[in-house]
Amino acid sequence: MNKTLQKDGKFLVDGFINKKTYQIVRDLCLQFADVSVDDVPEETPKFQTEKDRIFYEKFQKKKKTYTKSSKLDPNYELSNMISLLCTFHPSLSYSNIFQLTIGQIRDSFTQLMRQRKFDIGQMNYAVWGGKYDPMQWIERIDKSN
């Protein structure tokens, strides 16, 4: 995938989709269409032997039990992040949010959450006292992840 800046200031992303990039492009298209990956049925591959088919079916059963036990939090879906950023961010709105990349949206959302948490901590400390670290705002966000 290539990302180039055009003369009018807009970015052009081009390239080709192969086995390595297919899953990424597919997931991005589904996110932009606000479709859950779980709603898309998987294509059943063709098997060379019966043993391969049995192994695949066992794997799919384990995969289903794993996905049931580890559901993703819908609060962190791209559509919800965009909506919250446009509502609470001082300068982002629906007219300019789509100029950001997905990584920038996720980072802005994380920083906004940290800022709100920090503001609440400051307010609690001002009213009730107790433990409070004023340098908490400078901590790296990847430290807690």
The pLDDT, as a whole number, for residue 44 is: 74
CA–CA separation, 1 and 18 (whole Å): 10
pLDDT at 145 over 50: no
Enumerate the β-bridge partners of residue 109.
none
Express each pLDDT in 74-119 by its tens digit. Answer: 888 888 999 999 999 999 999 999 999 888 898 899 899 988 988 8
Mean pLDDT along residues 12-31: 79
CA–CA separation, 136 and 120 (whole Å): 12
Express each pLDDT in 22-78 by its tens digit. Answer: 887 888 788 777 677 666 667 777 888 888 888 888 888 887 777 666 667 788 888
Q: Which two tokens stand for residue 72?
A: 């993703």
